[in-house]
Amino acid sequence: MTTTVNSDLIIYNDLAQTSYLERRQDNLDVFNASSNGAIVLDNEMIEGDFKKRAFYVLGGTIEHRDVNSVDKVTNKKIGAGEAVGVKAPWKYGPYATTEEAFKRRGRALDEFSSVVGTDVADATLEGFVKYAISAAVAAIGANTDMVVTADIATDGKKTLTKGMRKYGDKFGRISLFVMHSASYFDIVDEAITNKLYEEAGVVVYGGLPGTLGKPVLVTDTAPVDVILGLLPNAIAITESQAPGFRSFDINDEENLSVGYRAEGTVNIDMLGYSWNETTGGANPDLTKIGTADNWKKYAKDNKVTAGVMIKLKAASAGE
């Protein structure tokens, strides 16, 4: 007599991976557009623990030339620098379910693979945003020339312009503000309170919305006392190795079950800042990524670094 056993069932590795890839592509397209190109999520195979790029450092200026002089001139050196991005590994799961749990609900077992495949795509996107914000807060925060302080209650919209001033005539390059929801609502409340004119439900705000026409990434993964003003390509989060997915049989329990887990790796690159191998090492976790000493500025000009940090003197209670 032939009996169907657990090993005869189809384990939907392909379905789980397909659900992941479809959801991931949707997330990437929406996020890259919504962040106005400041935080870029991408896919590229990168070997090794770090991504290193060498570049020349000149920073030359023109000088006065004396047309009546025969003096000798002194040669100037061309310098070199290195931009270093770091690779961070992640894992998801494992999750497990008995076959009975789906059968009793009249569901096919492939639904389990589809559900977890979609969820891992959402979970990784959330995780990548955490990596990006942690890296930005650490790197920019360590560069005191790109940190300002403000208080939304007293500074109002000047909270944002205080940060934009750091870029001088290049202030228009700031393409995205990143802030906690409490800070966002404080800024919007301030704009509403200080409206210039209202009649018959029509409100005039002096031609400027609360965030000065700049898009805002509102996320509670950002520190409540920090606002970031980011340039295009400020942070690149690159899925640098093919993610791994595994559905597996669990045959040593009372009920036949299946499990699922996933793993992958991303590279984190910051505009104008390099990962410090000496202090940060390889394969960092979120804590190390968010440690200021593990990032160092390589750009000579602050105006071509990732962005500016606005430290809020009084964190909002979100009331």
Show the 3-state SS of 196-217. Answer: CEEECCEEECCCCCCCCCCCEE
Helices (H), the chain: 13-34, 99-103, 110-142, 152-155, 158-164, 181-193, 277-280, 286-289
Distance CA(120)–CA(73), nearest Å, equals 62
Of residues 277 and 47, more confidence is placed in 277
Question: Minimum mean pLDDT among 202-211, 240-249, 276-285, 290-299: which range?
Answer: 202-211
From residue 244, give the alpha-carbon distance in Å to each of 30, 114, 131, 176.
24, 15, 20, 33
Contact 306, 231 (CB under 8 A): yes
Tokens of 156: 């109002």
Q: What's the pLDDT at 36? A: 81
Predicted confidence band at 70 (pLDDT cuts at 50, 70, 90)? confident
Q: What is the mean pLDDT of residues 90-115?
A: 81
DSSP H/E element including 120: helix 110-142
Tokens of 317: 């209670």
Q: What's the pLDDT at 102? A: 78
**To 5 degrees, how large is the angle CA 261–CA 6–CA 245?**
20
For strands 147-150 and 307-312, give the pairing.
parallel
Tokens of 224: 């409540």
Q: What is the mean pLDDT of residues 255-274?
A: 90
Q: What's the pLDDT at 75? A: 77
Q: What is the mean pLDDT of residues 173-183?
A: 89
pLDDT digits (tens, 9 = 90+) for 114-170: 788 778 888 888 888 899 999 999 999 999 999 999 988 888 778 888 999 998 888
42: phi then psi, degrees, rounded to nearest 5: -145, 175
Nearest to 31 by CA among 226, 243, 178, 248: 178
Contact 222, 229 (CB under 8 A): no
Q: What is the mean pLDDT of residues 81-101?
A: 85
